Structure 1
Amino acid sequence: MRQIVLDTETTGLSAETGDRIIEIGCVELVGRKLTGNNRHWYLNPERESHEDALKVHGITSEFLRDKPKFAAVADELLEYVGGAEIIIHNAAFDVGFLNKELELLGKPGFRNFVDNVIDTFAMAKEMYPGKRNSLDALCDRLGVDNSGRTLHGALLDAELLADVYINLTRGQEALLMDVSPQDAVAGIQTRVDLRQFTLPVLLASEQEAAAHEEMLAQLDKASGGKTLWRIQTRESGSAPVA
């Protein structure tokens, strides 16, 4: 599967009131591996950044004055992301800005060009309810080095988010295994369907079953008889599975 981790920087918080995109960073993953086939654009928004936004990204109007406008890179961007699964942190924000830029060019919305959009902020909120789930917080929690992130930057943030996403979804790969990493990087996905194999069932030994029963007894005692495993076993009328 081809995935693109995408991030933008903008002049402010509201595309509907005229704020524009000033930077786009894209990082490509194929088979959950970085390919190095990335894209990065600075854009002239034809307006000033709000003071608060400037404090976040530090990209001045003077720096952007000679950069291309979104219209000049739109086709290249859409060709690059075409058909891919897009990974964005707080996707509603970035997709909203991309939709507005495309609308100004008379083009359909961003989701019409891609396979799917994954919001890592929504994923993190579900996995870590009640905790801070900003990109920096997730980097700290998942051991991703973000020491070079003094200001927000679209390409740097996309690179960090790629690492965060891989850590968030570690262990969730489907029962399809890539045979050749080289083929995966080249975009050739040769796969073996593991469902065609009959996997052996390894039963617990008497010693392992006894240790399991002892652990359940300790949990049952500590919880005052409220061990979920025991309750479900009683309700189903079946014996515990060791």
Structure 2
Amino acid sequence: MGKGKRAAIIVAVLIALAAIGRGIAGESTVPARGGDAGETQEAAYELTPEEDLGGMQIGQTAVFEPYEVTLESVEIGDDTLTATITVRAHGEAQSLKAKFLKGGSIAETSFEDGAIELAAGGSATGTITYSGNTLTSLTWDNWGHEATWTFENAAKDAADAAKRTSQGLEAPYAWQAVEAYGAREYPYGFDLNWWTEKLAEDNQGDSWYLKATVDIRNENGKKAKHTCEAVVEGTNEDPQVTYFIVY
């Protein structure tokens, strides 16, 4: 074998090894933006470590092998929550769905028909709006490989606060206290219809004002429907009925 031919083989081997090295390093060759289909540019990306995918914050990007997703912002409305995302493909075209970003029932999205179609190296930015405004996290499901963004939500905090008094008393415990109180007052039968015929359930800060229909039996077993009102204070462990009336 001549020296020239041997040198050519060595050069070819070195080029092949260099290409393999780039692949191992996680580099991707994608079409150059604004160029012809035959033009390419090298775009390196680094996969997000598995341990970081569960604790993403708004503005951070989850980088998967074929593409990456950024949660750009979250807007909280009166009854909805809208997320803005950017999705960018790496070396190959991608066909994705808005529903991959899980959080609740999707009310609407700016992605046409909910589809996110990306050319190789291309990107798309759009919005996804969910029914309800109390979400505190959103999770992108990359075919079982998930990334989760968490965020603070004042609407969720307010909703949680409305479920309990300043002493931590929650409504179900207050209703149960009224049931027990009524059973002592009406030992022949006191069926408080707070599940099916609730008339009021107002958190007054340090107490609950409750109102519902009630079926009461007398000593002869005769049943009659009435209305019960009550005020309950205290804690879940020790609720106290401070006002009680049936009429």
Per chain length, whose mean CA-contact separation is higher, i.e. which structure has more relative contact order (CA < 8 Å, sep 6+)? 1
- Higher alpha-carbon Rg: 2
* TM-score (structure 2 length as normaliser): 0.21
Structure with the larger helix share: 1
